[in-house]
Structure 1
Amino acid sequence: MAGCLKASWKPRLRSLFLGTAQLLWFSALISELVTQKEVAAWTYNYSTKAYSWNVSRAFCRRHFTDLVAIQNKNEIAHLNDVIPYFSSYYWIGIRKIRNKWTWVGTNKTLTEEAENWADNEPNNKRNNQDCVEMYIKSNLAPGRWNDEPCFKRKRALCYTASCQDMSCSKQGECIETIGNYTCSCYPGFYGPECEYVKECGKFDIPKHVLMNCSHPLGDFSFNSQCAFRCAEGYELSGPSRLECLASGIWTDEPPQCKAVQCRSLEAPIHGTMDCVHPLAAFAYGSSCKFECQPGYQVRGSNTLHCTGSGQWTEPLPTCEAIACAPLESPAHGSMDCSPTAGAFEYNSSCTFRCADGFKLEGRDAVQCADLGQWTAPAPVCEAIKCPGISAPEQGSLDCLHAHGEFGVGSTCRFFCNKDFELEGSKDVECTVSGKWSAPPPTCKGGTSVPFPEVQCPALTTPAQGTMSCSHPLGSFGPNTTCYFGCKTGFTLRGANSLQCRTSGQWTAVTPTCRAIRCSELRMDTAVVKNCSNPWGDFSYGSTCTFHCPEGQSLNGSARATCRENGHWSASVPTCQAGPLTMQEALTYLGAGVASTTGLAVGGTLLALLRKRLRKKDDGKCPLSPHSHLGTYGVFTNAAYDPTP
């Protein structure tokens, strides 16, 4: 029978441990101890039978916690006082493991403070004394220890631990004491049961700082961690993370958020800069506006903003000189500009003059203004003209015009009819003064006749054209000049004027008028085109009409006309597939049925026909070659088409 004794009882009942009365008493104690196992104190128990060390430990672990583990000599004195005497003594929970005496219940090696060997012990007699007994109530060595072979039979001296799973709030080490325990708190915890956590306390969050904290043990307490970042446009100055230490102090001071800095800017050459700095000079939110001096213009963006990334929205602009369009010397003239670099920048000026025989039409001087425009258009040099002259009576005139009709450099030669003599200069020239080199001559002698005997072939007005002639010596006689033009939509092919020479031949062949041509129309393959071309394919006046095969609708204009500017009045349309009406479908099938039943049958027949024809010709059904559509088409009715 096994029995046990609560350690707080006194040894005054020692003499009762005999006979039947002893057995009954320990049985009652077993029942009492079982009911007190939840008491939060370290209590001592023992068996009433003797076992080997291994069996004794199994007994203690089955009924209590383990064989007793002794921490100091006060505990030894207490055990010697409360545990009854037994001749074979008691096993305690220490054993030699890898040549070290170790408390098996706590897995801690024997300390000098708890050591209580009897004299000359341990002696490891016969080399197998690996277990330890305690001399309870020994006259010679009370409470002392002796190493013994583990197979010997002794009472088991057990303990019930005071420390439980939740002892010290799981935040400290539970240390057993006689009849109780104490807590050695882990860093960061305090209190009798280590139930309190060290607090670091809250701190003020600086402006623009964003904080995210985790508090595993309580707000702003030991092991709390706070991470920091800044709002857009700001950057951290200080640590990005703080931790509450076991000492109740934060690892650092909270950081600050400072505005992001962009690089400093300066006004461009020939320009000014005006900046606004709401936070700090050239920091996030700053904006700078740029202007240029007169005669210069901003190249780039005229306003920059400092962004949250520390970059300006655009590169720094520059002020470039305003330039006017380049000028060139007029034909038959010269140009002189200042400055002479030829850049034609703001305030540049140019003067013009003409060669002899030419006069300036326009301003003789222009200047580049601040908006990049000249103060006046560039002038031109026009040839000085001499008064117009005509052939003498009974004579003819043949002129060559170098710079326009009767302009400077023009030369004219005079001829007289048969039986007439020229009186005066035969040749005259238009000089730079605007005067002829000699007066026009006359033809003297002979009999005056109304028309010369020399005549050019008569001219006719070209088709779709106009003709206007002057006949100083009679119809189509020498010096007759004819001018040609074309009607709207036509263009002249050839010289625009002809003159009858004294030889009786025109200076060129009669010109013709040709219709202006538009671009060739490129059609959608399904579009049917019908064109009328009065003056040739795709020429002025051509009109084209468009339509689509049955079952398709026209997307665009149904008519286009070639205009006088060479462009069509509308773009080429396209054909878009669309459903046929039931009546149209029945018409194509040769069924003039209008009833509901007839429509349904017609729709079914149309679907079957389409499906069959699709297999034959990829879904296209040719209409009659003589259809009013003028070409093949495709008909379809999506509403009654069962195929995808």
Structure 2
Amino acid sequence: MWALGSCGVCCLGIAVFTCGVVMQVGAWTYYYSEEDYEWDDARTYCQTFFTDLVAIQNKEEIEYLNRTLPYHGKYYWIGIRKLRGIWTWVGTKKALTKEAANWATGEPNNRKFNQDCVEIYIKRSSEAGKWNDEPCTKKKKKALCYKVSCQPLICGLHGDCVEVIQSYKCECHPGFEGDKCENAVQCPILEPRGAYMNCSHPFGDFRYNSTCTFWCPEGFERRGADELQCLADRQWSVETPTCTAITCPELRAPEHAELNCSHLHGNFAFGSICDFSCQPGFELMGSQSHECMATGNWTGDIPRCKAVTCPVLSAPEHGELNCSHIHGNFTFGSTCDFSCLPGFELMGPLSHECTAMGTWTGDTPQCKAISCSVLSAPEYGELNCSHIHGNFTFGSTCAFSCQTGFVLMGPQSRECMAKRTWTGDTSRCKAVTCPVLSAPKHGELNCSHLHGNFTFGSICDFSCQSGFELIGPESCECTAMGTWSKNTPQCKAITCPVLGAPEHGELNCSHIHGNFTFGSTCDFSCLPGFELMGPVSHECTAMGTWTGDTPQCKAITCSLLTAPEHGELNCSHVYEKFTFGSICDFSCQTGFELIGPQSRECMATGTWTGDTSQCQAISCPVLDAPSHGHLNCSHTHGNFTFNSTCSFSCKEGFIQMGAEMLRCSATGNWTRHPPVCEEDSAAFLKQVLVYTSTSALAAIGLVLSGTLIALLAKQLSDREEKKKLLNPTSDLGAPGIFTNAAYDSTL
């Protein structure tokens, strides 16, 4: 509803300093002042008598305010202000979000300065309800206030009162429901299976925040959490736990045995009992009966069934024994195979077997060494052998050597192997060889060989391709030591003179065969402000010379500059006149001032910095004709500028007091004070004499003579004083300087 307040007290009985208006909406009340305030004063007003400046929460509230508030040409302050550069709701100190903003077109900060507080357009012809930022010190708007209506504990201990348009609502804390948040939410009632449970219910049986703990009897273990809590979503924090019997490791009958079990609470669980027995021909090793305890372990050790054993066998000399045991080492069913080490052969049965009587089948075998073929010494060589188990039998070794001048080709020694063959190939003696030679890069090789390629006595000649020169011997020979008589030569590219970058330029080279050698290419370039004069690149030829002449870098030229009219030009040139780096300074003659840059520089682009400079005549204050007089001026360089001259004259009946002519000096001042025109006192006396008759003058002459003479003397004295003020040269002997202050003092 709406209610108009009176001055001093509003309709709801709240004291105010100025006339105010109130409108009440459900759960809270809006207020606005009759008086206009600055933003800070508006907020003080709202905080003093109400809660704060309006904090608009949504579009619906904006529509309501625009529909309900009366139109005010200066609009209303609201509770948004820029703090540290951020638009902020001052009541909550929260930044204004982009989604909640309701700025008018072009806002905020359309003036780009000092607009830190916000007003709302109410019933504006366009963009009603929109926001605009204004200077906070602008006293032009009413304060739009609000007062909260939520009371403490209106929503109980488990809810928060939230004000909305035309109503309020209770927002319940998690886990509570109801109009006043008086009820805790209900979780499913717990009924554990086989487990003990203890619960605490702060807000009712199995309701929000109820907690239940669980445990199991001896011999059983809990599956799941030991504690559950009723959560705000009406569900328990975890699944209800269960109690299951503790299990022991599952038992299996050992090999050649049988197992018989009885189970009370599940297979191999707490209370289960298992009995063991062996098959015929095996004996039980260990306890016969076992029980699963609450600890999850079986009583006693697990038994086993063991087979009958035979005497332990050993391998023959130079032989090996390989046994397979079905029921244990050297027990019933075990089989043992005999074999000989490499180089020996078996004499006797290949295998034995352990019988049910605990004895082995067959006699004990033996191992004999294998024989190899007889070896002989190679041509131009010798043979030396050693025999371990007999001449040329397994393990015999024979060493080979060659006569002087030959090298052994093949193994230096050979051994008789188990396969009745000798290790390695047949050895022979071969002439000494030298390392294989190859043609040098960019060169060629032609060789002659006596005893084979690159062997003792071979001779090789070297040569280079066109454009390269041989560095080293022209030929070499393979010696008896297996080395060449001389080092291998190289073919080196012909070199050109080393190039350097031109002055004010750069050099960029690519080298194929080495720095500044045949095939190298060098490109020339100039630094900014210079241009290349000559070829762009050179190439090193096969003759050891460069193609083309040496280039140069010449400074780029700018257009020729001239001194401005009534001015002077002074230039300094780094390289040549009016080229890159040249700097020209401009100055003006006395009585003129420089318009434009004082200095210009020739840039790398061939243009000057800045615009063209000019010399402009200095101006003096504009002169006006004196009262009752005339002014006539001549201007050499422009109206009332340097060397302008002005002459003065007075109308009839007035006398000129001061200089007849003034000139504008180089300092921007006139050489004299302007003159003034005063009424001529002699003419006044003449008029008195004309209109007075001779007889009247005779009659009153004696009376007036003294007075008239005194009056004339005073006027002449005043005139001389003004002349001194207007023409100081009469006393100082130097021209006076005219200023507006001096001129005003003479009038």
TM-score (norm 2): 0.33
Higher relative contact order (CA 8 A, sep 6+): 1
TM-score (norm 1): 0.37
